[in-house]
Amino acid sequence: MAPAKKFAMLMMFFALVNTPINAYSTEKDFVRCESTVKKWAASSLDAEVKEDRHTLRDLLFFLHIPRTGGRTYFHCFLKKLYTSHLECPRSYDKLRFDPSKPNCRLMVTHDDYSMVSKLPKERTSVVTILRNPVDRVFSAYEFSVEVAARFLVHPNLTSATKMTGRIRIKNNEVSTLDIWPWKYLVPWMREDLFARRDARKHGEFSAIGESNDSYDMEDIVMPLSEFINDPVAHEIIHNGATLQVAGLTNNSYSPESHEVRHCVRKYQALGEYVLEVAKKRLDNMLYVGLTEDHRESGTMFGNVVGLQVISQLQPLSSNMEQAEKNKSDMSSSFQNHQPDSNYLLNSTNDQKAAENVGTTNENMTVGKLMEAYETCISNLRKAQSRRRSMSLKKISPVNFSKEARLQVPDVVLQQMVSLNNLDVELYKYAQGIFAQQRKRLMQKSVEAERQVSTFSSSYGINLWTVLSLGITVFLLLVLLFFFVNARRRILKVKV
């Protein structure tokens, strides 16, 4: 036999012997993984849908999924309802975790659902907001770049990194760089931006200015298609909403979660178990909002969550007044822990513009809350877009916008959808929950109206009944308007 032929036969022999072994060990690994994931899913689904899930319990946990617009809810609703005395000490990293304030009422963080294990579960209501996954990925990319670009004022990466460290220590603040997932995404993008700038200086890009697509300008910023395929994005961004609601992010408190996540990433089929857990969790939440329907989501938040918070806190308010007068030094120590607010450099000023100074919870009504929300949200948006355009100037001509997104090739969009298959499913599910919430609220206002009309027919109409009738009819019309609109949009948009 010719040596080549002999070699080929030898290879074939090994292949024959090896394949079953490999297949066997792969299968064993799959079986092990499947059992791990199943066990986790079974233990996570302890309770069925809870009867009283629409009633606010003592503690409100806002599970803030990054880039869903949760920040406006925090600043424009929750900050107006809860004084800082009532906020639980937050944890942006594990070292800071401090469950020491047993009577706090509000917890807002980017931590995942595993945080619930640290809270009094039976006394906790959870709320969250979901967003179309493709938009969420776009936004995560843009925001990582935006924050990282602010560092380009520095001559080099070393100086940028050093300076931030100094600022952080000096101000003792929680900055974006302390908050998961930005603490990974921003430094990653920052390093990348500096590397590309250096390469430009050394003339390493030959075709500068050729591309017209802001999401694909590799001489300045990591292109979107590269970003979504990077292992970091796989670890942190894709299916991020599902993993966060399931308690399986890479920031999880639950020790077993890391193996479960690893298995789910390795074997896509196991994602179904995670999705089921996430759906059940949404079912049990007090409120689920949608970023896309932000006006209706806001109205609903006010009428479902806001209303209950107000009636829950009213009995507390005289107590709180006392505490305020007592000037407990606790409060001042929390001023430094505003979540999300210290997005580094000048953000604190913007924040103050958005918040009303000296808001109290006293005599708060849903009407007043909504009014305050509208003003606050518009200020916050202005501040955000100012900061964003200042930051994007540093990487001009890159300019992220809705129009620029239209230039992104279909292949990339399709990839974003398939990389986020669980989130796509969860988002659809959340849309269903949202529609139910809308129905419930409409029913409630119809009932209220019926009560009012019975009342007025038996006692005669007075000013009060006319007024409340007017209000319920108005609320009904508003909801109807949203309902019709949402239907139209659902028909139009299909991701």
Ligand X SMILES: *[C@@H]1O[C@H](CO)[C@@H](O)[C@H](O)[C@H]1NC(C)=O
Q: Is 319 in the site for ligand X (CB under 6 A)?
A: yes
Our CB check for ligand X shows the closer of 26 and 314 to be 314
Shortest reach from residue 315's CB to ligand X, in Å: 13
Choosing from 352, 393, 439, 450, the residue that interacts with ligand X (CB under 6 A) is 393
184 lines the binding site for ligand X (CB under 6 A): yes
Of residues 100 and 363, the one with the C-beta less far from ligand X: 363
Among the listed residues 100, 172, 206, 322, the single contact to ligand X using CB under 6 A:
322
User: Helix H segments across 68-156?
Assistant: 70-73, 79-81, 133-149
Residue 124, phi then psi, degrees to nearest 5: -115, 130
Q: Is residue 314 at the binding interface for ligand X, with CB under 6 A as the rule?
A: no
> Which token pair is 10?
């030898």
Q: How many CA atoms lie within 13 A of 287 on its CB side?
A: 29
Comparing CB distances to ligand X, the nearer of 22 and 349 is 349
Query: 172, 206, 396, 458: which one contacts ligand X (CB under 6 A)?
Result: 396
For ligand X, the binding residues in 327-366 under the rule CB under 6 A are 345-346, 349, 362-363
Backbone angles phi, psi at 364, to 5 degrees: -75, 140
Does 41 engage in binding with ligand X (CB under 6 A)?
A: no
Q: How far is the CB of 293 from ligand X (least distance, A)?
A: 23
From 8-16, 299-307, 316-324, 412-420, span contacting ligand X (CB under 6 A): 316-324
Closest CA to 147 of 396, 397, 392, 386: 392
# binding residues, ligand X (CB under 6 A): 27
State the Cα–Cα distance between residues 305 and 366, nearest whole angstrom.
10
Cβ atoms within 10 Å, residue 414: 11
The helix/strand/coil state of 106 is: strand
Q: Is 247 left (phi over 0), alpha (psi -120 to 50) or beta?
A: left
Report CA torsion sign: 150, 155, 157, 160: negative
From 53-61, 106-114, 318-326, 439-447, give the range in contact with ligand X by CB under 6 A: 318-326
CA–CA dist 123, 421 (Å, integer):
33
Annotate each residue in 79-118 with x if it binds ligand X (CB under 6 A) or - if it does not, as one string: ----------------------------------------
Would you count residue 201 as binding ligand X (CB under 6 A)? no
- Among 46, 51, 329, 403, the residue binding ligand X under the rule CB under 6 A is 403
Q: Rounded CA gap, 155 and 71, in Å?
A: 32
- Report the 10 Å Cβ neighbour count for 450: 11
Which window, 86-94, 220-228, 231-239, 453-461, contacts ligand X (CB under 6 A)? 231-239
**Minimal distance, residue 211 CB to ligand X, in Å:** 9
For the bound state, the minimum distance from the C-beta of residue 331 to ligand X, rounded and expressed in Å, comes to 11
Structure token pair of residue 3: 């040596």
For 63-92, the DSSP string reads E--TTSSHHHHIIIIIHHHS-GGGBPPP-S
- Closer residue to ligand X, CB minimum distance, 97 or 184: 184
| Distance between CA atoms of residues 5 and 495, nearest Å | 53
Binding window for ligand X (CB under 6 A); candidates: 66-74, 106-114, 394-402, 419-427: 394-402
Instruction: Give the interface segment with ligand X, choosing from 76-84, 89-97, 141-149, 385-393 (CB under 6 A).
Output: 385-393
CB 308 within 8 A of CB 56: yes
Q: How many CB atoms lie within 10 A of CB 251?
A: 24
As a whole number of angstroms, the distance between CA 218 and CA 208 comes to 9
C-beta closer to ligand X: residue 345 or 430:
345
Six-digit token string for 311: 């009636």
Q: Give the whole-angstrom CA distance, residue 78 versus residue 395.
A: 35
Least distance to ligand X, CB of residue 32, Å: 20
* Shortest Å, Cβ 210 to ligand X: 9
Minimum CB–partner distance for residue 352 and ligand X (Å)? 11
* Residue 91 or 299 having the CB closest to ligand X: 91
Task: Give the pair of three-digit tokens for residue 98.
Answer: 């401090």
With a CB cutoff of 8 Å and minimum separation 6, the contacts of 309 are: 56, 60, 81, 82
Phi, psi torsion values for 173, nearest 5 degrees: -105, 160
Query: Binding mask 133-162 vs ligand X (x if CB under 6 A, - otherwise)?
Result: ----------------------xx-xx---
- Minimum Å gap between C-beta 23 and ligand X is 29
420-449 residues in contact with ligand X (CB under 6 A) are none
Least spacing, CB of residue 78 vs ligand X, in Å:
20
Q: Tokens representing 289?
A: 């909002």
Q: Which residue from 326, 336, 378, 385 is in contact with ligand X, where contact means CB under 6 A?
A: 326
Cα dihedral 247, 251, 253, 256, rounded to 10, equals: 70
Give least dist CB 235 to ligand X, A: 4
Least separation in angstroms between CB 86 and ligand X: 12
Binding site for ligand X (CB under 6 A): 155-156, 158-159, 184, 212, 232, 235-236, 250, 319, 322-323, 326, 345-346, 349, 362-363, 389-390, 392-393, 396, 399, 401, 403
